[in-house]
Amino acid sequence: MPIVGQLNPWPGARAPGKPTCIVVEPLPPTEPTTLITSISATDAPLPTATPPPRDTVTILSVDEDKGQGITRFIITATSSVKTDPQPILICTGTGVNPLGQSVMTSLGNGNFILDVAVKHGLDTVTVTSSYGGQMTLTLV
């Protein structure tokens, strides 16, 4: 069983003081209060959170620039949700060296961009929205 308590001797110049406790006396009993036992029909119901709408994701363009075994991709996409809170768009790609989940940069008004370099290129690009929309494009 471990021993718990103040280090003795204390490693510093001065040991901390002993802890003190304050005893709080319970409050005297009070008269009981009346509880509300029913809710009238005129009371408004509690508001419920509205789930965000499922959006439509569109890949607008995938520009490739090949050089020295690396392919640079500039991927632009849009979401049909153009109001706050903006969706988060994630881009992935398949190929010899696949593109892992990469967060696209919001340009505002539902427009997004990703500038990424991949060794040996990509076969497909998929953009997925935090609101559920998704689009996959096969690259030729």
DSSP string across 14-59: SPPPPP-----PPPPP-PPPPPP----TTSPPPP-PPPPPPP-EEE
State pTM to two decimals: 0.63
Q: What pairs with residue 114 in β-bridges? A: 75
pLDDT tens track for 1-34: 666 667 777 777 777 776 666 676 776 776 666 6
- Domains of the chain: residue spans and CATH: 57-138 (2.60.40)
